Amino acid sequence: MLKIGEFSKISQVSVKALRYYDQIGLLNPAHIDRFSGYRYYTLSQLPRLYRILALKDLDFSLDQVHELLNTDLTAASLQKMLQSKSNELHQRIEDDRSRLLRLEDRLHQLEESVLTQSPVVLKSAPKYLVATIRQVLPTIEALDGWQQAELENIRQHLKKQGEPAAGPDILIYHQDEFCDVDVDVEIGTILRETRRNIEQDIEDSSIRIHTLHRVNQLATAIHLPTTNALTKTYASLTHWTQINGFRPIGPWRELTYTQETPAIERVIEVQRPVIKAIEYYSQLEVIEMEPKIVTKPGFTIIGMRYFGKNENQEIPALWEKFDQRIEALGGLPNNTGEATIGLCITPEDAPVEDGFEYVAGFPVSKVEDIPEGFVVRHVPEYTYAVFAHKGDLPSLSKTYKYIYETWLPQSGYKLAAKLDFEYYNEDFKDFAPDSIFYIHIPIEKA
């Protein structure tokens, strides 16, 4: 047997590391003298030690090394772990390459003496509760006056409700490209998230209290009115997005922070939701995989109803109301617990052109004790094409577009009914990057 120092010299692994491997159960000595406490190793332990070093060199953590060595993994499981590590390293290389491009771009800016321009920062945004007014303005020149007037209107309304704004103010451009006429904009302020805010959801038809969903990646830059024109900040963000391999996936936003310092009255953070182009095209490839074809028995849901065209994001607001009502009720009687369902039905005699009914609800085993303001809908048995939507809410329209404009016309199927539903189970994580829910489209042979 070899003392720990001798084993250390042969293996060229420090005594400190060997003691730590013993402590965490990764490589225990062959023998420990009970009187002296000396650790002894054998040459037959070298292969295990070298496997540890080899796996560490592949960037596995010690916990992962422990699992790989001490668990009776199948070949398929081992291959899966190695592939996962390969994907992780590829992503790290891609992130480092992107970071290098940003660094070189910043150096280029410094060389050109663009010292007052804010650097672009990539970050995420939580979901916000907001009070807003949305309108299509005839020209961009009308924006400033309309914005100040409507912000004052919102503040007065909130003051009457005893709910002062928490700030900052927010401006959203609901158009992908710059327009100087017919400008679709939304102005408002961020609120403290309270149940009272959500339940009021407002008698004044021009003011909406609703939730902006979280955004996983935002390209952001700070604009100071004392430095340069706001258009330069927008141009900087656009340039950064292009050279760093991102694609925009949502509308421009401005958050305005009011300063007490007289020299700088306002600070504006310009934001754009983005996704790495490689992820965007990977998602396209995932979407274009064949959906699962399943037959689902008929079911009944009880929930809250909206009818319209979702022009002002009424469906997310409906979900907010529904969640709050369910919380206040302490649950829904006879809820099967299977999932939460968003049922969309287009009636033959819709009173509004392109209007549809959307019900946010739970499947139930039987109908009784229907809460006030809730409706009951029964869906017969159908065969469904089931598509998985992963990730952000902004990319959801892309999934639906693929389903109805690409997959369905080429599939050999046709719609079996003018409905579809969204199926939210434990895979749904509030539109986080790994969040998934399932879109069910009823089909029959064409």
**What's the rounded mean pLDDT across residues 86-93?**
82
- Given a cut of 60, whether residue 286 has pLDDT beyond it is no
State the pLDDT at residue 444: 93
Distance CA(411)–CA(397), nearest Å, equals: 20
Residue 168, Cβ density class (10 Å: 0-12 exposed, 13-18 middle, ≥19 buried): middle
DSSP class per residue in 327-372: HHHTS-TTB--S-EEEEEE--TT-SSTT-EEEEEEEEESS--SPPT
| Residue 145 near residue 135, CB atoms below 8 Å | no
Q: What would the two tokens of residue 86 be?
A: 């390969």
| pLDDT for 386 beyond 90 | yes
Strand partners, 32: 39
pLDDT confidence band for 62 (50 / 70 / 90): confident
pLDDT value of residue 226: 62
CB 218 within 8 A of CB 123: yes
Q: Report the distance separating Cα 270 and Cα 125, nearest Å.
A: 13
Whether the predicted pLDDT of 317 surpasses 80: yes
Closest CA to 284 of 276, 292, 273: 276
pTM across the whole model? 0.50
Asked if 310 and 360 count as a contact pair (C-beta separation under 8 A), the reply is: no
The pLDDT tens digits for 392-401 are: 777 787 788 8
Q: Is the pLDDT of residue 2 over 70?
A: yes
39's tokens = 């650790």
Q: Distance between CA 87 and CA 288 in Å, rounded?
A: 21
Amino acid at 314: E
- Pairing between β-strand 375-379 and β-strand 299-308 as defined by DSSP bridges: antiparallel
CA distance 442 to 446: 12
Helix (H/G/I), strand (E/B), else coil: 438? strand
Can you tell me the distance from the alpha carbon of 248 to that of 391, in angstroms, rounded to the nearest whole number? 15
Taking the alpha carbons at both ends of the chain, their separation in whole angstroms is 77
Distance CA 70, CA 434 (A): 29
Structure tokens at 74: 């199948």
Nearest to 135 by CA among 202, 204, 207: 207
Task: State pLDDT tens for residues 232-285.
Answer: 888 888 888 888 888 888 889 999 987 655 555 678 899 998 888 776 666 555
pLDDT bracket for residue 121 (50, 70, 90): confident
Distance between CA 120 and CA 112 in Å, rounded? Answer: 17
* 173-205: burial string, b at 16+ Cβ within 10 Å, e else: bbeeeeeeeebebbbbbbbeeeeebbeebbeee
